[in-house]
């Protein structure tokens, strides 16, 4: 049985559980408790606070965990990064009052910086040769300059709206963060085998993300023109239709490309274009 530590609430919890569900993992309990086994896969989910996950994985309380890279770097616990998951993206940035004149990192010399991530900030400032006073705050970091607690902040930024509402502006991005799957460094062969299957399933889910299955009818006389337009993976599938003068073309496209080429496909002779979602894709 592989034990997976997952954040107990918040956006990372929602995205993590959605990913596990898409990977075919069904939980045994309708009501969430601290530890919930799966009904159909040899894993159990341990719900923890996000900042407890790195230590729980490093110490072996959990075998693997889904955690933000920001928390993983801050806790600096010895774990093995298995896979970046592509969701819960944010960044750790330095921000200053919006009216302050900023010409570079030297601005922070001698300044007081409020943060909930003193480890990451300290390492960054030391690397850059900047001496500043780090003031640790556990919540509402963004209000610190406005009430005179600090000259600047180092905090998570997603959309940037919180900074704007507090009269701050982002000036330096230090870490680009996202959810990562991490593992204990000393898993047994049996647990590693389960983890490999889990990673395989997650990979299939990720491969299908933002991709569409495209079907269209094409006159055989214009088939080469249509195929020349398609930027799909490998070679499109061409199938005969009841009308010998037509064929059906099937391919997979990145969704972002579809609207760019739809008029080109129509101009090339494609008709009856059908776009379908893809749940999983094995490459």
Answer for the pair 15, 88: CB distance below 8 angstroms, yes or no. Answer: yes
Cα(178)–Cα(206) distance, rounded to whole angstroms?
14
Give residue 179's pLDDT: 96
pLDDT of residue 234: 64
Q: Mapping DSSP to helix (H, G, I), strand (E, B) and coil, where does residue 267 land?
A: helix
> pLDDT for 125-184, tens place per residue?
999 999 999 999 988 899 999 999 999 999 999 888 899 999 999 999 999 999 999 999
Residue 207: per-residue pLDDT: 84
Which pairs with CB-CB distance under 8 Å and at least 24 residues apart come from 136-142? 141/114, 141/115, 141/116, 142/95, 142/166, 142/168
Contact 201, 266 (CB under 8 A): no
Alpha helices for the chain (secondary structure H): 11-22, 53-59, 69-75, 118-128, 161-165, 189-208, 223-229, 255-268
Residue numbers in the chain where pLDDT is lower than 70 = 29-32, 232-234
How far is Cα 16 from Cα 221, in angstroms, rounded to an integer?
48
pLDDT at 232: 56
What are the structure tokens assigned to 62, written together?
Answer: 């959990």
Domains identified in the chain and CATH numbers: 2-87+178-207 (3.40.190.10), 90-177 (3.40.190.10), 211-277 (3.30.70.120)
């Amino acid at each position: 049985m592989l034990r997976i530590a997952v954040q107990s609430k918040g956006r990372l919890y929602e995205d993590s559980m959605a990913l596990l569900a898409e990977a075919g993992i069904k939980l045994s309990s309708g009501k969430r408790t601290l530890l919930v086994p799966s009904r159909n896969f040899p894993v159990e989910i341990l719900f923890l606070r996000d900042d407890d996950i790195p230590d729980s994985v490093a110490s072996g309380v959990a075998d693997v965990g889904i955690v933000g890279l920001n928390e993983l770097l801050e806790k600096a616990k010895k774990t093995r990064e298995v896979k970046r998951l592509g969701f819960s993206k944010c960044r750790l940035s330095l921000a200053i009052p919006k009216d302050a004149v900023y010409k570079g990192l030297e601005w922070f010399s001698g300044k007081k910086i409020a943060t909930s991530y003193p480890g990451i900030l300290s390492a960054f400032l030391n690397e850059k040769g900047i001496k500043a006073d780090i003031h640790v705050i556990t919540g509402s970091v963004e209000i610190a300059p406005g009430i005179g607690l600090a000259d600047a902040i180092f905090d998570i930024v997603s959309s940037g709206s919180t900074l704007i509402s507090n009269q701050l502006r982002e000036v330096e991005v230090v870490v680009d963060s996202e959810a990562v799957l991490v593992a204990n460094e000393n898993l047994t062969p049996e647990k590693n085998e389960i983890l490999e299957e889990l990673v395989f399933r997650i990979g299939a889910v990720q491969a299908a993300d933002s991709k569409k299955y495209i079907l269209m009818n094409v006159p055989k006389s214009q088939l080469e023109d249509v195929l020349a337009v398609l930027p799909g993976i490998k070679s499109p599938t061409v199938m005969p239709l009841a009308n010998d003068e037509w064929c059906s073309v099937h391919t997979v496209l990145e969704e972002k490309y579809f609207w760019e080429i739809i008029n080109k496909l129509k101009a090339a002779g494609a008709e009856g274009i059908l776009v379908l979602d893809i749940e999983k894709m094995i490459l």
